[in-house]
Structure 1
Amino acid sequence: MSKRKATEKREPEDVEMASHDDDGSNDDSGSDGDLEDIINVDFEFFDPKEDDFHAVKNLLGQYFASDSILFGLSELSELIVSQPNVGTTIKVNGADSDPYSILTVLNMNQHLYNIHKVAAPSTSSGATSAQASSQQVATKPSQVMTQIRDYIFTKSKQNEKLHAKLKDLLSLPSKKEVGLILSERFINMPVETSPPMWRMMLEEVKGAVDQGLPFNFEYYLLLSPTYHEVAPKIDLEEDTPKPIKKKTKVTDSATFFFHPEEEMLQQYAEFTQDFKLTTPTTVAESKSTFEDYGIAPARRMMLIHKDKIPEVVQLMTNNSQW
């Protein structure tokens, strides 16, 4: 069923993507090769569903990059597609096609401590009803959420205040819950599709809280994909002779965001921390690594209070540069 929100009251997003000449012009008076190509695409919003499992898993693999091997992505994908209340995908070929983009939020505390009931072992005939009841409510932590929690604990150690805050929020008996935001899309998806997804997420979280569901987050946590420029490992113009040059030292450059809208989030974050990925790219993957082309992927951890999220979503919506 279509995810289009009643409050949006809009038709599916129409985005025009044009190809231009090298000089930036798009004069259509020339040959057929100079004609402007316009592709009209209808972006439709849907709830994640079970059929999206493999596509969601692929997007998560892209999101966590080389560190994806550290997490049980199958379990994480299952948590996402089995959560009917909060989460949005974007598709372009109908509800049964694969999603090109996903934005969702998972309750870290809930998945760490309050779900995954374990079947109680058989009790002896002499067991009291209270003992039997206690056994029935025993829970097992989500393995993948435990992996993510331990990962962020490790990565936040460089920032003592952030590390202490996360320890406090994600350890029992904390009563303040953290929402883990997972946002990923194909690299050629236009950024204009992102603000509606964030607005939908806020609406869904509010609706879930009104229904008494466990989405009353005090904080939101995001591991935003970033990168900085480094010396490329390959020559992009291998056929062109190059003069011999002395090696120069490459200094750390500015940090850039793969998702431009997430750059706005850092203005509202209570804590931020940059960190490198743990797992190096394998030799088999080396030809497709960003570093080959002068880009070093990293992550920026951001912890944002719930009161700030509506402000930043409004800022995304009003951004005139998109």
Structure 2
Amino acid sequence: MGKKRTRDAEAQDPTVEKMEVDGESSDDDDFDIVNVDFEWFNFDPQIDFHGVKSLLRQLLDVDSQLFDLSAIADLIVEQKTIGSTVKVDDQANDAYAFLTVLNLAEHAEKKAVADLVQYLVEKCKTADSLAPVSEVLTAKKPVGLIFAERLINMPPEIVPPMYTMLLDEVEAAVEDKEPYEFSHYLIISKTYNEVESTLTEGERKKKKAKDDSLFFFHPEDEVFQKHATAHGGYQFTKEDESVADSKRAFQEMGVKTHGSMILIEASKFPGAVKAVAQYLSPQ
């Protein structure tokens, strides 16, 4: 599954990567098996803009309204040989998942990127553990900002091929003298904790946190943190108390989301990707 995808768009086989996943749903002794073929594609600006923008909105959560998502989505889909989308049935469909990396130094003069970097620098001030991230960003080092998001019910097994292909594509781009030689990779993601939620006569009441345990939306983030120079979480700027109910994931519980950053030195990133593959490989 981790085969290198061609960087020549004209020679690309649209089914170059496939994964078949069995999904089961059980009711007593009855169960159904659904076979789903996931396919990996390069970005196509004519097809992927809206799907990527929607997933960016999900990734950046309530703070997505602070950014020019259209401009960021444009930058992503224009990188036709860097990154992947995951789809079902046909390339013309919206992406169920995507992964890519943007060179922050290369795009530093673009307002959408500058606004996002400034936001991340400000969030770093809220947690001591994120101080090294701020230092790297303000020093304007060649940082690769990784965007990775997928629909919530996507199997995590799709992740290792995406990262493996990204490494191959970045290596090929560097060989071609393209601006993808990074000092660090910065992954922006999300965590959450469960909260109790009470709805009385249609009005939302105060939510009480169940505990301080944080959970990962992306299980690979737990592995990446073990290889990180720095990592930490932060509160969203637009956070409000209604968020927990709108994102209820359990019958009695809601979820409160938090932003997350993981900074990994470029030299350690291949090892981190290998560890993710081992962690998420089907048993």
Query: How would you bin the TM-score normalised by the shorter chain?
Result: 0.7 to 0.9
Would the aligned equivalents of 1:224 and 1:300 in 2 still touch at CA under 8 Å?
yes
Cα deviations across residues 22-60 of structure 1 (Å, max 9, x unaligned)? 6xxxx3xxxxxx3x2111111100011111101110010
Q: Paired residue for 2:216?
A: 257
Q: Residue 313 of structure 1 is aligned with which of 266, 273, 278?
A: 273
Q: Paired residue for 1:125?
A: none
Q: Which residue identity is paired with 1:169?
A: V
Aligned residues, how many?
266
Within a 5 Å distance, the mapping from 1:70-219 to structure 2 comes to 70-112=66-108, 141-160=109-128, 162-163=130-131, 165-171=132-138, 174=140, 176-219=141-184
Q: Residue 97 of structure 1: SS of its match in structure 2?
A: coil
Equivalents in 1 of 2:208, 2:49: separation in Å?
A: 45
Q: Which residue identity is paired with 1:55?
A: G
Equivalents in 1 of 2:207, 2:100: separation in Å?
A: 43
Would the aligned equivalents of 1:66 and 1:281 in 2 still touch at CA under 8 Å?
no
TM-score by length of 2: 0.85
Cα deviations across residues 97-154 of structure 1 (Å, max 9, x unaligned)? 1110000000011100xxxxxxxxxxxxxxxxxxxxxxxxxxxx11111111111111
When Rg is computed on C-alpha atoms for both structures, the one with the higher figure is 1
Would the aligned equivalents of 2:133 and 2:230 in 1 still touch at CA under 8 Å?
no
TM-score by length of 1: 0.75
Would the aligned equivalents of 1:234 and 1:293 in 2 still touch at CA under 8 Å?
no
Q: Which residue identity is paired with 2:146?
A: I
Would the aligned equivalents of 2:146 and 2:186 in 1 still touch at CA under 8 Å?
yes
Q: Residue 172 of structure 2: SS of its match in structure 1?
A: helix
Q: 1:212 to 1:37 in 2, by over 3 A?
A: same
Instruction: Point out the structure with the larger strand share.
Output: 2
Q: Which runs of 5+ in 1 are unaligned?
A: 28-33, 113-140, 239-246
Equivalents in 2 of 1:223, 1:167: separation in Å?
A: 13
Deviation of 1:294 after TM superposition, in Å, equals 2.3
Q: Residue 149 of structure 2: SS of its match in structure 1?
A: strand
Deviation of 1:260 after TM superposition, in Å, equals 0.6
Deviation of 1:201 after TM superposition, in Å, equals 0.6
Equivalents in 2 of 1:106, 1:214: separation in Å?
A: 10
Would the aligned equivalents of 1:18 and 1:39 in 2 still touch at CA under 8 Å?
yes
Q: 1:267 to 1:17 in 2, by over 3 A?
A: same
Q: Paired residue for 2:22?
A: 16
Equivalents in 2 of 1:46, 1:295: separation in Å?
A: 32
Cα deviations across residues 203-255 of structure 1 (Å, max 9, x unaligned)? 111111111111001101112210012222349xx9xxxxxxxx997464211
Decide which moves more: 67-76 or 300-309: 300-309
Equivalents in 2 of 1:250, 1:273: separation in Å?
A: 20
Q: 1:68 to 1:37 in 2, by over 3 A?
A: same
Q: Paired residue for 2:9?
A: none
Deviation of 1:182 after TM superposition, in Å, equals 0.3
Deviation of 1:313 after TM superposition, in Å, equals 1.1
Q: Paired residue for 1:300?
A: 260
Q: Which residue identity is paired with 1:170?
A: L
Q: 1:290 to 1:64 in 2, by over 3 A?
A: farther
Would the aligned equivalents of 1:232 and 1:294 in 2 still touch at CA under 8 Å?
yes
Q: Residue 246 of structure 2 is aligned with which of 288, 293, 305?
A: 288
Query: CA-atom RMSD, angstroms?
Result: 2.9
Q: Which runs of 5+ in 2 are unaligned?
A: 7-14
